[in-house]
Amino acid sequence: MKKIIINLLLCGITSFSLTSCEDFLQTDYNEGVDVDNGLETVNNIEYAINGTYYQLFRQYFAGNYAITIGDMAGDMAYLNGSAAHWTSINHYNVTPDDSYLLYIWDYGYKVVDNSARIIKAGKELSGTLSETDEKSLKLYMAEAYGLRGYAMLMMTNIFGKQVKVNGTKDNSDANGIVIVDEPVEAFAQVSRSSVGACYEAILNDFQQALDCYAASGTTGRGVTEYLSVAAIEGLMARTYLYLEEFDKAKEYADKALKDSGKDVMAYTEEDYKALYNGGDSNSESIFRLAIDSNNNWAANSCGNVWTTYGGLPSPKMCNLIEETDCRGSLYLTRKVSGSYTYMEGGKFYFGGGNTAYATNYIVNAPEMYLIIAEANLRGTTTDLNAAKESLLKVAKRNSAITLDDLGSTKEEVFAFLKDERARELFQEGFRFYDLRRWDEKAEVYADNLDNVSYKFTNFAISEFCYPIPASEVNAGFGVEQTADWSNYLPK
């Protein structure tokens, strides 16, 4: 695997090391911290963890690409053709040279490698510090474990098959990604681990994060742009949902809601739109990225994807939104420019202002309620009433919905829940993974704005995963391509 440079620009510092030959990874050495030799104080570790957040929220990873791919690869996104952005993913014209995949891989491993260095340095420092510094160190280590686990979860789901599929298929033995327990030195030979081993490493990181928070005597820094105990619990709930360990998914979703104090609150158009004014405007969010008017990706922002680059909800998605649903105030608003119809940003609305300043809300209360609802349907014991109550917390964004409208059988309620996840989680990057884990015969590449029409139908999407970037495979450090990945493209 390539030697990854860790760019700490958010803190005004950078570190320097060798990389393989991608110019876009090059940075200039600036006055700052050398992550190989300079993480010898708690202050330097704090600078390094803040820099790792910066890599996380870059447009190449959670700031755009690693989130957006989950929508663009599903059936709920449509591209109006005004720009070429995201067409390779949305139209399934995918190759190992795809730039989105390359950036996700490279910047995901920046987060992973930087976190691994912080964790290693933290272990070496622990026990040598004052009580106050020791607690600060444990807080930063907790965040490093959480960041590494989150980046690993995203990359495993993109470059590996869905770990569990509808209770009938277990892909734990399939190829995942490279696990980084220790920092990877330049030119070291590595290999991909199984999807199952990756999930074990992810859950271990999240548990280590919780242990470090406990040792720090805190639940986090107290602001949503940093990970917290509740954010880690929310990510654990999501991970256990993918593993189809539904009882644990419910347990951690409950904890995330309790420990965050967050709830679903917006049930009117005015209140729902107010969630997406940027920063801490989303009172339902547990963890968000630090994107704002001063730190954003301008033309490379998610806001641009869902406006001038032509991203829209597909006609199928539009048909899921009733007139009485407050979410339509964001998803269905339109403007026409020339021969193209545009959405006004959706969840990247930013109060009707510059959508480039809008942020990604990563772990949110509505997702937790939807996880609890699915767990009550699919867990060890089916509790239909409890599932419906949790589901209604989100579904009543449509003011016409009542408990009776959710269905009277497990199958009916599950069908409603699938649609509700589409409605509620649109633009949060979940649809591709939901379609795979439910083993849906998917329709992808929506090709008509006015009619529900798809280029590919009956797509066995649970069999598909994205190829490892060709430059990584060709670098010769041991990362092999997924065998026959292209055989599972839609036809």
Tally of CB atoms within 10 A around 1: 23
Closest CA to 327 of 304, 347, 309: 347
Closest CA to 271 of 329, 319, 209: 329
pLDDT tens series, the chain, 491 aa:
543 333 333 333 333 222 333 322 222 222 345 556 679 999 999 999 999 999 999 999 999 999 999 999 999 999 999 999 999 999 999 999 999 999 999 999 999 999 999 999 999 999 999 999 999 999 999 999 999 999 999 999 999 999 999 999 999 999 999 999 999 888 889 999 999 999 999 999 999 999 999 999 999 999 999 999 999 999 999 999 999 999 999 999 999 999 999 999 999 999 999 999 999 999 999 999 999 999 999 999 999 999 999 999 999 999 999 999 999 999 998 889 888 999 999 999 988 899 999 999 999 999 999 999 999 999 999 999 999 999 999 999 999 999 999 999 999 999 999 999 999 999 999 999 999 999 999 999 999 988 999 999 999 999 999 999 999 999 999 999 999 999 999 99
pLDDT of residue 30: 29
| Structure tokens that stand for 475 in this block | 């670098």
pLDDT of residue 19: 31
Provide the total of helices (H) and of strands (E) in the chain, helices listed first: 17, 10
Is residue 90 within 8 Å of 77, Cβ to Cβ?
Answer: yes
Tell the burial category of 422 from Cβ atoms under 10 Å away from its Cβ (0-12, 13-18, 19+).
Answer: buried
Which uninterrupted H or E stretch holds 203?
helix 195-216
Contacts of 370 (CB under 8 A, 6+ apart): 390, 391, 394, 417, 420, 421, 424, 425
Sequential DSSP letters for 381-446: S--HHHHHHHHHHHHTTBTT--GGGG-SSHHHHHHHHHHHHHHHHTTTT-HHHHHHHTT-EEEEEE
Is residue 424 within 8 Å of 409, Cβ to Cβ?
Answer: no
pLDDT of residue 34: 59
The CATH topology of domain 9-268+363-488 is 1.25.40
pLDDT of residue 6: 32
pLDDT of residue 240: 99
pLDDT of residue 194: 98
- At 405-442, the pLDDT tens digits run 999 999 999 999 999 999 999 999 999 999 999 999 99
Is residue 1 within 8 Å of 188, Cβ to Cβ?
Answer: yes
pLDDT of residue 37: 63
Contacts of 200 (CB under 8 A, 6+ apart): none
pLDDT of residue 337: 87
- At 200-222, the pLDDT tens digits run 999 999 999 999 999 999 999 99
Rounded to whole angstroms, how far apart are CA atoms 289 and 10? 13
Rounded to whole angstroms, how far apart are CA atoms 362 and 285? 8
- Which residues in 167-230 belong to E strands, given as ranges? 169-170
